[in-house]
Every structure is written in structure tokens, then in C-alpha cells.
């Protein structure tokens, strides 16, 4: 999904970056071995990029979700928000870095049920949190907890929604090209 309006500011290259974002871009290039196009477009608002990276790091490092569960949450949010860039990028990360079975990644991409009961409960609850704008029913939360999750993880899904909202929405209006490294997992809303 892309906005009818596209931000006209060009992606920020490291050599042209202002002092308040240059070191952030350099650090991300060192982390990835390349500078993701999404980060270059987000860098037009240094606060946006820094807030995204901080929230992303907090979710990855402090949540009680496994790497597989983290990808399920990020992919469900990105798919529901129609973010082509993030679904493509997270599909690659899921397949190659987080250990998500490809059939699970594909089920999320295609809007199908996941054949793993616990991961399906996670996906359903994440969608519920999005569709209800953070107002799940008591039954929704009880179902999530009975699948083996905790109240803390309810809050951690809220963190993931905040993080992915930053990237998904900025990608809608900035429309970065999917990086070549992710291109074999491109996705269209």
C-alpha cells in the first residue's frame, strides 16, 4: 500500500547527512553491511529514525517473545498495515535470521492461518489489538494467555505496534525501494 502522495525529499546518504543523524546511519550501515533504503528515507526526520531504531531494539532485546514470535508479530502488523517494504524485509529476516519456518512466513504473507496453534494465537491476538485499536475483550486476552502467553506480552505487542506504525506509515508516504537483498521476498498489498 502506498500513499497517493509521495514525500519529495530524497533519501539521505551518509555523506550528505546532517550531524544529528550521520552517526546513526553509519552505525546502521555497519550493522547490516549496507544502509537499508527505509532508514535513508526515515532519516529526513532524525527523530523518527532514532525513535524507530530505539523501539525496535527494545522489542528485540527485552520482550519475552522468541525471535520466531517477534517476526510473527512484526509481519502480522506490517501485513495488516499493507506495508510492502516491511513485509518483504521481514519475510527475508524471518527466513534467514529468525528461524521462522517458510510455511509460517508464507501463511502470514498470504493472510492464511498458521498451522502452529500457539503462533496462530499470537497472530490472531496481534490482529485483534490492531483492529480494536488496543481495546481487546476479556475473552480475547484470556484466549491469548491460555495459548501460553502473558499479560506482559500484551504490552509488548503494543510496543511492536508502535514500532511498526512508525516504519509502516513512513514507508507509505516515502515509498522506499525494497533493497536488493530482500527482493526475493517482495510482497504486494
Q: Is the pLDDT of residue 2 over 90?
A: no
Instruction: Kindly report, residue by residue over 87-108, the tens digit of the pLDDT.
Output: 999 999 999 999 999 999 999 9
pLDDT digits (tens, 9 = 90+) for 15-42: 999 999 999 999 999 999 999 999 999 9
Domain extent listing, the chain: 14-185
Q: What is the distance between the alpha carbons of residues 73 and 79, in angstroms, rounded to a whole number? A: 10
Residue range 14-185 in CATH 1.10.10.10: no
pLDDT tens for residues 146-167? Answer: 999 999 999 999 999 999 999 9
Provide the sign of the torsion angle of the four alpha carbons 109, 110, 116, 122, taken in this order.
Answer: positive
Distance CA 2, CA 13 (A): 23
Q: How far apart are CA 168 and CA 24, in angstroms?
A: 20
Amino acid at each position: 500500500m502506498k500513499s497517493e502522495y509521495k514525500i519529495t525529499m530524497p533519501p539521505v546518504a551518509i555523506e550528505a547527512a546532517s550531524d544529528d543523524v550521520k552517526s546513526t546511519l553509519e552505525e546502521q550501515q555497519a550493522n547490516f553491511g549496507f544502509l537499508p533504503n527505509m532508514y535513508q528515507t526515515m532519516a529526513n526526520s532524525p527523530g523518527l529514525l532514532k525513535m524507530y531504531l530505539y523501539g525496535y531494539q527494545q522489542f528485540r532485546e527485552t520482550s519475552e517473545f522468541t525471535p520466531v514470535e517477534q517476526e510473527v508479530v512484526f509481519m502480522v502488523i506490517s501485513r495488516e498495515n499493507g506495508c510492502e517494504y516491511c513485509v518483504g524485509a521481514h519475510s527475508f529476516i524471518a527466513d534467514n535470521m529468525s528461524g521462522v519456518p517458510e510455511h509460517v512466513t508464507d501463511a502470514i504473507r498470504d493472510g492464511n492461518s498458521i498451522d502452529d496453534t500457539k503462533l496462530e494465537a499470537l497472530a490472531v491476538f496481534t490482529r485483534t489489538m490492531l483492529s480494536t485499536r488496543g481495546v481487546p475483550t476479556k475473552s480475547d486476552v484470556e484466549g491469548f494467555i491460555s495459548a501460553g502467553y502473558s499479560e506482559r506480552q500484551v504490552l509488548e505487542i503494543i510496543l511492536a505496534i508502535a514500532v511498526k506504525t512508525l516504519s509502516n506509515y513512513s514507508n507509505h508516504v516515502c515509498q522506499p525501494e525494497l533493497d536488493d537483498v530482500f527482493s526475493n521476498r517482495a510482497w504486494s498489498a
